[in-house]
């Protein structure tokens, strides 16, 4: 059996399993509108109350006043009752404490790889319009530098930060303590041994030669083992849950853990994938690692933190579950549109295009839900840094997904394929959506993990605007340059070098945007370091240093019954 058939069969079986699970959930009534499940993220007394530990006491009071004024104008009768739970703040604090050290380790690794990976990415960007810069050593060449950037960012930054969010949120949502925390720590160590070794291997020229799968399979064993160890203990925690309803965030996160393990295992199987079949598997993996790992983790994070900050349950729990199942049904085959014009069966590409267009369904379900949840409350983003990151990421998810669906069409793909247009689109998803959401989650989580306030809360706004401006400059100019590049390549009367020359001004702007993004990462990393080192700036009000238990309690929402 060749690898093309194997990949398709695996995807079919996953979809079939999803179908049966969907039928089971319908029989159990899990898709019926469920206000109790929608409010499962709150303890009694929290609905209608602001919750953002990035804020000082004064700023939290301003946010609460804005929420109260908005709720008075647009009351929602559905949420007048308390959440159907006896889960208390103290129990939630115990859940947070149980995951403290694994989450902290994962976040430290994530920030480290973010800084190193983004510096490598900026170097690669500069080399596109300064090709004679840094050419003395082989590891400094564009091909290796860009691959080290991808490995550090995808497996180092995003994967570590995503796992930290899953490990932190799962005990909260299951209303229990994390099981097997030492094993999660060991899994994090294995994962990052694999990332560091994979980057080193790429630097010396040892690579598997497939995009997003460059880590050699011998080193990939460490990455896979780390993922499995973490996943086992997350599911052990789920098994000991005391919650009556599985909140939608858990659906996304638990499925994402299973998907990434299956994807990575199939992608790294040695001696199985060759030739055209290898290309088919490569883009089956390459797109699914974005859509079935990064996307569900980030969407799940938004579904938790956005309602949590504003104290308002998600508008339609039914829509959130619909979005989950349609993502599971439609995403598995979208990677084939990267092979338009290649020596692959036409039906495979057509199937991919159809699946890509069907992805509009889960995106619209998410968009409608978020718009209805935050309707009349967008102005609250000026008060809450966490909310600002979440709303920005949610908007970028909608835009990047819709762009991706239409980019799969043959007419668009004909121009955009093999150009910087595709690179711009990838960054709209992986950075403007995923990374910005992860930033917001870390800003919320780390005070609860360390029992400390952020040293300089105003730096969070500086970080946001540098990052948001940088990615917009990056995306807009690279999109324009990529489209011009594609039209030039299609013009038979023009030499190929014309398609290269036309991109130079836009590549320079790409580096400007990248520089702003790297600067934002340095601000972010410096702020995290200050928090780790327990920096105590002068303040007009009291800080939360001192007894950890008191500090943790002070960071919790102070209005629970």
Q: What is the 3-state secondary structure (H, E, C) of 266-317?
A: HHCCCCCCCHHHHHHHHHHHHHHHHHHHHHHHHHHHHHHHHHHHHCCCCCCH
The CA distance from 458 to 466, in Å, is 13
Higher pLDDT, 132 or 44: 132
3-state secondary structure 30-53: CCCCCHHHHCCCCCCCCCCCCCCC
Provide the pLDDT confidence category of residue 295 given band limits of 50, 70 and 90: very high
**How much of the chain, in percent, has pLDDT values that exceed 70?**
88
Look at the pTM and tell me if it is higher than 0.95: no
pLDDT of 307 above 90: yes
Sorted by sequence, the CB contacts under 8 Å of residue 269 that are 6+ apart come out as 217
- Residue that the structure tokens 């983004």 belong to: 118
Q: What number is the average pLDDT over the span 279-308?
A: 94
The CA distance from 260 to 276, in Å, is 23
Which residue in 437, 432, 435 sits closest to 388, CA to CA? 437
Name the least confident of 444-448, 481-485, 536-540: 536-540
The CA distance from 308 to 302, in Å, is 9
Name the least confident of 48-52, 215-219, 488-492: 48-52
Which residue in 342, 362, 490, 357 sits closest to 421, CA to CA? 490
As a whole number, the mean pLDDT across the chain is 88
Provide the pLDDT confidence category of residue 545 given band limits of 50, 70 and 90: very low
Higher pLDDT, 43 or 291: 291
Higher pLDDT, 528 or 81: 528
Sorted by sequence, the CB contacts under 8 Å of residue 138 that are 6+ apart come out as 144, 205
Whether the Cβ atoms of residue 439 and residue 524 lie closer than 8 Å to each other: yes
pLDDT digits (tens, 9 = 90+) for 328-339: 988 888 888 888
- Name the token pair of 379: 């102005």
Which residue in 308, 384, 300 sits closest to 41, CA to CA? 308
The CA distance from 10 to 8, in Å, is 5
The CA distance from 192 to 188, in Å, is 6
Provide the pLDDT confidence category of residue 78 given band limits of 50, 70 and 90: low
Q: What number is the average pLDDT over the span 87-116?
A: 92
Instruction: Locate all alpha helices (DSSP H) within 48-99, ordered by sequence.
Output: 57-73, 89-98
The CA distance from 384 to 55, in Å, is 7
Whether the Cβ atoms of residue 532 and residue 526 lie closer than 8 Å to each other: no
Q: Most distant CA pair in the chain: distance in Å?
A: 75
Sorted by sequence, the CB contacts under 8 Å of residue 271 that are 6+ apart come out as none
Name the least confident of 3-7, 69-73, 354-358: 3-7
The CA distance from 287 to 266, in Å, is 14
- Name the token pair of 502: 């036309």
The CA distance from 98 to 340, in Å, is 49
Q: Report pLDDT for 541.
A: 42
Q: String of b and e for 511-523 (b: at least 16 CB within 10 Å)?
A: bebbbbbbbbbeb
The CA distance from 97 to 103, in Å, is 10
Q: Report pLDDT for 7.
A: 62
pLDDT of 556 above 90: no
The CA distance from 154 to 19, in Å, is 30
Q: Compute the half-sphere exposure of residue 280: CA atoms within 13 Å on the CB side of its CA.
A: 25
Which residue in 146, 71, 87 sits closest to 374, CA to CA? 71
pLDDT of 414 above 50: yes
Provide the pLDDT confidence category of residue 84 given band limits of 50, 70 and 90: low
The CA distance from 198 to 298, in Å, is 25
Name the least confident of 216-225, 404-413, 480-489, 529-538: 529-538
With both helix axes pointing from N to C terminus, report the angle between 248-267 and 317-330 in degrees, rounded to the nearest 10.
Answer: 10
Which residue in 291, 281, 415, 287 sits closest to 341, CA to CA? 415
pLDDT of 31 above 60: no
Whether the Cβ atoms of residue 16 and residue 287 lie closer than 8 Å to each other: no
Q: What number is the average pLDDT over the span 125-148?
A: 92
Q: Report pLDDT for 367.
A: 95
pLDDT digits (tens, 9 = 90+) for 349-393: 888 888 899 899 999 999 999 999 998 899 999 999 999 999 999
Q: Report pLDDT for 39.
A: 81
φ, ψ of residue 375 to 5 degrees: the values are -55, 130
Most confident of 139-143, 159-163, 324-328, 353-357: 159-163
Instruction: Identify the burial level of 123 via C-beta atoms within 10 angstroms of its C-beta, where 0-12 means exposed, 13-18 middle and 19 or more buried.
Output: buried
Instruction: Locate all alpha helices (DSSP H) within 157-274, ordered by sequence.
Output: 159-174, 181-203, 217-239, 248-267
Q: What number is the average pLDDT over the span 69-96?
A: 71
Torsion sign over Cα 528, 448, 52, 245? positive
């Amino acid at each position: 059996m060749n690898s093309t058939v194997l990949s398709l069969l695996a995807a079919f079986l996953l979809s079939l399993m999803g179908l049966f699970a969907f039928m089971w959930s319908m029989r159990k009534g899990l898709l019926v509108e469920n206000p109790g499940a929608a409010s499962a993220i709150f303890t009694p007394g929290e609905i209608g109350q602001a919750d953002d530990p990035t804020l000082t006491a004064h700023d939290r009071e301003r946010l609460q006043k804005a929420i109260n004024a908005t709720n008075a104008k647009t009351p929602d009768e559905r949420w007048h009752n308390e959440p159907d739970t006896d889960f208390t703040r103290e129990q939630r604090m115990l859940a947070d404490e149980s995951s403290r050290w694994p989450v902290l380790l994962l976040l430290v690794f994530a920030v480290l790889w973010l800084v190193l990976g983004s510096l490598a990415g900026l170097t690669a960007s500069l080399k596109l319009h300064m090709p004679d810069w840094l050419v003395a050593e082989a590891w400094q060449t564009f091909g290796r530098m860009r691959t080290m950037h991808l490995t550090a960012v995808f497996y180092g930054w995003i994967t570590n930060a995503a796992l930290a969010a899953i490990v932190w949120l799962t005990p909260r949502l299951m209303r229990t303590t994390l099981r097997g925390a030492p094993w999660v720590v060991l899994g994090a160590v294995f994962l990052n041994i694999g990332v560091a070794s994979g980057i080193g291997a790429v630097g010396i020229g040892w690579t598997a030669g497939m995009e997003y799968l460059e880590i050699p399979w011998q080193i990939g064993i460490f990455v896979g083992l780390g993922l499995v160890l973490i996943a086992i203990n997350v599911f052990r925690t789920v098994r000991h849950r005391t919650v009556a309803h599985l909140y939608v965030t858990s659906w996304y996160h638990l499925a994402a853990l299973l998907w990434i393990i299956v994807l990575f295992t199939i992608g790294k199987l040695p001696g199985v994938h060759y030739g055209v079949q290898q290309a088919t598997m490569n883009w089956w993996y390459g797109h699914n690692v974005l859509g079935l790992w990064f996307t569900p983790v980030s969407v799940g994070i938004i579904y938790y933190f956005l309602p949590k900050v504003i104290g308002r349950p998600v508008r339609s729990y039914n829509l959130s579950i619909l979005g989950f199942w349609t993502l599971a049904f439609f995403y598995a085959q979208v990677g084939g549109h990267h092979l338009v014009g290649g020596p692959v069966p036409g039906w495979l590409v057509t199937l991919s295009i159809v699946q890509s267009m069907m992805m509009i369904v889960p995106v619209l379900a998410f968009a409608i839900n978020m718009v209805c949840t935050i309707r009349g409350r967008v102005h609250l983003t000026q008060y809450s840094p966490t909310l600002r990151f979440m709303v920005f990421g949610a908007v970028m998810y909608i835009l990047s997904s819709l762009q991706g669906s239409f980019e799969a069409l043959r007419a668009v793909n004909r121009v955009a394929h093999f150009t910087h247009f595709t690179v711009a689109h990838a960054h709209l998803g992986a950075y403007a959506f995923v990374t910005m959401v992860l930033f917001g989650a870390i800003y919320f989580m780390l005070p609860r993990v360390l029992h400390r306030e952020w040293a300089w809360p105003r730096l969070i706004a500086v970080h946001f605007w540098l990052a948001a401006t940088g990615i917009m400059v990056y995306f807009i100019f690279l999109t324009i340059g990529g489209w011009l590049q594609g039209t030039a390549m299609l013009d038979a009367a023009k030499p190929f070098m014309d398609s290269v020359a036309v991109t130079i001004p836009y590549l320079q702007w790409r580096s400007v945007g990248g520089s702003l993004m790297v600067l934002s990462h340095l601000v972010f990393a410096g702020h995290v370091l200050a928090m780790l080192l327990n920096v105590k700036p002068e303040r007009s009000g009291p800080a939360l240093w001192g007894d950890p238990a008191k500090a943790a309690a002070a960071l919790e929402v102070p209005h629970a019954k």
